[in-house]
Homo-oligomer: A and B are copies of this chain.
Amino acid sequence: MDNRPIGVFDSGIGGLTVLQEIMEQLPGEDVVYFGDTARIPYGTRSRETVIKYSFQCIRFLLSKDIKAIVIACNTASAMALEEARKVFEVPILGVIDPGANAAVSSTKNNKVGVIGTTGTINSEAYQKKIRRAHPSSEVIGISCPLFVPIVEEGWEDTDVAFITAEKYLSGLKEHTVDTLVLGCTHYPILRYTVGKVMGDGVKLINPAYETAKCTKKLLKEEGLLSEKVDGAKYEFYVSDDPEKFRRIGGNILRKEIATIQKVNIEVL
């Protein structure tokens, strides 16, 4: 047993959807969350820069005596996970592998859709993983740049969200995908709207949910589960003004985030 917290980081608030799944699936695990809000978005930065930033996030979380790290950011998972595992001894998970593996297990007709930010879709991170596991599969990536601001406005259940989703997803429907990966940490908030547009025949893969499941499995296998079964504590840190994080993050978690501390991440 190990009562130390799990460390979770993201380039901003999107990773709170991963935290929320950890809260639900592992209600006894304390978590330290770091959102690198001063340097968001990671998606437009070079591989070298994303690795540097991710290592700084990891070093910060290690200073909080965490027992495992979850990279709750698609770009950092794609670009920095392998490098980080070479350098740090702590167990580290990303969001890409759990999401891609779940898509491979789900599809029956070998037609998989992936939606995400332009950076994630252009990086082909999910598409490559799925094709590697399932070489005969057809994987179609669509970037949906309006989805993040829609979630950040709290508009996920509005007509704007619905008709935007219809515009983005019509091509995927024509391709008759039977599985759709929500390949951006913000998108699980839009899953009901996306589900309504895609219809019941399409299985939505939520990498946040899958990542929490993998985290639980890892902690169990490594004997790192907490003794507590509930009543976990959560600490929040950001690298920029906490106000936006508090407001939008509270919407995502559907509870108030009382204390958020600002960290000077550049010096780590």
Interface residues of A (CB under 8 A from B): 44, 145-146, 149-150, 152-153, 155, 158-160, 163-164, 167, 240
A163 to B150 alpha-carbon distance, docked (Å):
13
Q: Which of B149, B158, B163, B164 is close to A145, meaning CB atoms less than 8 Å apart?
A: B149
- On whether the beta carbons of A150 and B158 are closer than 8 Å, the reply is no
Task: Please give me the 10 A-B residue pairs with the lowest Cβ-Cβ distance, nearest first.
Answer: A145-B149, A146-B149, A160-B164, A160-B163, A159-B163, A149-B149, A146-B146, A145-B153, A160-B160, A145-B152
Smallest beta-carbon distance A48→chain B, Å:
14
A153 to B158 alpha-carbon distance, docked (Å):
20
Contact residues in B for A155 (Cβ distance below 8 Å): 167
A64 to B109 alpha-carbon distance, docked (Å):
57
Smallest beta-carbon distance A154→chain B, Å:
11
Contact residues in B for A146 (Cβ distance below 8 Å): 146, 149-150, 153, 160
Contact residues in B for A240 (Cβ distance below 8 Å): 44
- On whether the beta carbons of A160 and B149 are closer than 8 Å, the reply is no
A44 to B243 alpha-carbon distance, docked (Å):
13
A-B contact pairs, 13 of them (CB 8 A): A44-B240, A145-B149, A145-B152, A145-B153, A146-B149, A146-B150, A146-B153, A155-B167, A158-B167, A159-B163, A160-B164, A160-B167, A163-B163
Contact residues in B for A167 (Cβ distance below 8 Å): 155, 158, 160
Smallest beta-carbon distance A104→chain B, Å:
30
Q: A44-B240, A146-B150, A160-B167 are in contact. List 15 more A-B contacts (CB 8 A).
A: A145-B149, A145-B152, A145-B153, A146-B146, A146-B149, A146-B153, A146-B160, A149-B149, A155-B167, A158-B167, A159-B163, A160-B160, A160-B163, A160-B164, A163-B163
